[in-house]
Chain A
Amino acid sequence: MANKLTVNSLRWAIQQIAPQMEVSAEELNALDGQLGDGDLGVTVVNGSKAILGKIALLPDDLGGSFLKCAQTLMTEGGSSFGTLLATGMMSIAKTCKGNLSVSWAEISVLMGGAIEAMARRGRSNLGDKTVLDALEAIRAALEGEQDPRVMTELADRAAAEALDRFRYLPAKQGRARIFSEKSVGLDDPGQLVIKRITEALREAK
């Protein structure tokens, strides 16, 4: 692992995430289909594959790289989940603009900005049982951390804890909100995507 987060770290992460999404697609479709249209697995496979196809084109400027990832996601599909993630990446892109690297400790700060932008765009709050809760749990767990190996462990544990914490709570946002009571006992599909991502990073580190 490098001392800092660079475009190469980003490329490495994408290379771990894309194949994991293929493995998890069916599970995500099934979970999403309980209350929604059941295409989240397809969405994340298409999105991550499209970004994987662009990694050679990512510029050294981290801001440019995150922007490229966000734009790729926006071309790929119309799903709210894709747009939300793209919103987070745009926020990170703006903060990193002009930097070839950021320190590992900076990740938590970047995530904070991304979560804020995503909450605004999605008109949702922490605690609504969405992907934001998983990201916030990870952000909090990574605060002040410097060692990427430890960070992948912490992130994966935080993602698991977020799933556990929200499983028996009702959803307050998105399509699942309409079926709020039925969402009790079901994992939030967006949170599960994050868990599968952190798993892939932890196992590969």
Chain B
Amino acid sequence: MMKKVMNAPQAYVDEMLSGLCGAHPEYYRQFGLQNRVIGRPNAPIEGKVGIVTGGGSGHLPVFTGYVGEGLLDACAIGNVFASPTVDQIAEAIRVANGGKGVLLLYGNYGGDVMNFEMAAEMLELEDILTQTVVVADDVASAPPEDSQKRRGVAGMVLGFKTAGAKAAQGARLAEVAAVAQKTLDATRTMGVALTPCTVPEAGNPTFEIGDDEMEIGMGIHGEPGVRRGPLTTAADITREILEGILGDQPLANGDKVCAMINSLGATPPEELYIVYGHVASKLKDLGVEIAVPLVGRYATSMEMAGLSISICKLDDEIQSLLEASCDCAFWKV
């Protein structure tokens, strides 16, 4: 049975957005005929490269939450786990356009990719310059030789952060896009799911899983992972996920990384910190320093229990952009 604090399922997203913008008018404002574009209240910021993302609802703080200073300029938001329309994406791009071009930075999901491409094609007619970086950080979703097919998950937040900081420094569109791409090329993510979540309009859980089971590598919409088995310890889960990540992108003695331990929704900070301890000790054994630790809810799947680990290999530029100031309702640096 679905247990959610809500009114009509069809109103879920619109009521959520109006509450979000009502609570944080200093960060978020609704744009567009359907109010499905969330932008900074002072958008567009003239003379700055705009950054736009978009995707389905149900992942807060992704996507909408990261609209803010030193982060995103606008976001087109669809129904729960459903792509925004081409129209909404086009509107978000217009809202973000301060005359220096707009970076489109979004996760690798079929519907989102198609709709963003279509929107960009339409905006060529309006002389708005766009560049695209697609996030594909989930190592469990395709083998290395098919890495362009991977899905975009929590690692995208690091891309939002570095691209946002670069744009805030006054960089050109090509430079902002290059830094986002570099960050994401250096980032790998893998997760574990313990329980499913329920899309309000569907009413049923996105997948079924036994009370004593977990699925390593499961996608944030319930896409099948790499292995299902009995729930093991935090130490074993961490070991298995890190093996997946480091097998794909090895780290060497002396490397510095950003390590993000992200709750998929229901898993509490307590358990994230248990995992963080194991990640830190494993990396220390390898001689790797966690220069930027991030622990919390960064990219969720509503009430799904589980977590993901993202590792981003740092260079000086990525590190300084991750450490640069930013401000939104969910993240301040």
Q: Which residues of B contact A80 (CB under 8 A)?
A: 83, 110-111, 114-115
* Binary contact track A146-184/B, C-beta < 8 Å → 1, others 0: 000000000000000000000000000011001000000
Cβ-defined contact, B115 with A83, below 8 A: yes
- The chain A residue sitting closest to B199, CB to CB, is A37
Q: Which residues of B contact A77 (CB under 8 A)?
A: 85
Q: Which of B82, B86, B114 contacts A122 (CB 8 A)?
A: B114
Query: Which residues in chain B, 179-208, are within 8 Å of chain A measured between CB atoms?
Result: 199, 202
Q: Which of A78, A121, A122 contacts B79 (CB 8 A)?
A: A78
For the complex, give the distance between the alpha carbons of A74 and B86 in Å: 5
Give the most central of A78, A83, A123, A178: most B CB within 10 Å. Answer: A78
For the complex, give the distance between the alpha carbons of A98 and B140 in Å: 49
Cβ-defined contact, A78 with B82, below 8 A: yes
- The chain B residue sitting closest to A76, CB to CB, is B85
User: Does any Cβ of A come within 8 Å of B117's Cβ?
Assistant: yes
A83 in contact with B86 given A78-B115, A121-B118 (CB within 8 Å): yes
User: Does any Cβ of A come within 8 Å of B310's Cβ?
Assistant: no
Interface size class of B (residues with CB under 8 A): 20 to 34
Q: Which residues of A contact B88 (CB under 8 A)?
A: 78
Q: Which residues of B contact A78 (CB under 8 A)?
A: 78-79, 82-86, 88, 111, 115
How many whole Å from B316's CB to the nearest CB in chain A? 36
For the complex, give the distance between the alpha carbons of A87 and B122 in Å: 11
User: Does any Cβ of A come within 8 Å of B224's Cβ?
Assistant: yes
Query: Which residues in chain A, 78-103, are within 8 Å of chain B measured between CB atoms?
Result: 78-80, 83-84, 86-87, 90
For the complex, give the distance between the alpha carbons of A174 and B109 in Å: 9
User: Does any Cβ of A come within 8 Å of B213's Cβ?
Assistant: no
User: Does any Cβ of A come within 8 Å of B289's Cβ?
Assistant: no
Q: Which residues of A contact B111 (CB under 8 A)?
A: 78-80, 83
A87 in contact with B82 given A37-B202, A174-B110 (CB within 8 Å): no
Query: Which residues in chain A, 93-136, are within 8 Å of chain B measured between CB atoms?
Result: 121-123
For the complex, give the distance between the alpha carbons of A77 and B115 in Å: 10
Query: Which residues in chain B, 224-281, are within 8 Å of chain A measured between CB atoms?
Result: 224
Q: Which residues of A contact B46 (CB under 8 A)?
A: none
- The chain A residue sitting closest to B89, CB to CB, is A78
For the complex, give the distance between the alpha carbons of A129 and B81 in Å: 24
User: Does any Cβ of A come within 8 Å of B69's Cβ?
Assistant: no
Q: Which residues of B contact A87 (CB under 8 A)?
A: 114, 118
Q: Which residues of A contact B223 (CB under 8 A)?
A: 178
Q: Which residues of B contact A79 (CB under 8 A)?
A: 82-83, 111
B residues near A, CB below 8 A?
A: 78-79, 81-88, 110-111, 113-115, 117-118, 121, 199, 202, 223-224
A-B contact pairs, 9 of them (CB 8 A): A37-B202, A74-B118, A75-B85, A76-B85, A78-B85, A84-B114, A123-B110, A178-B223, A178-B224
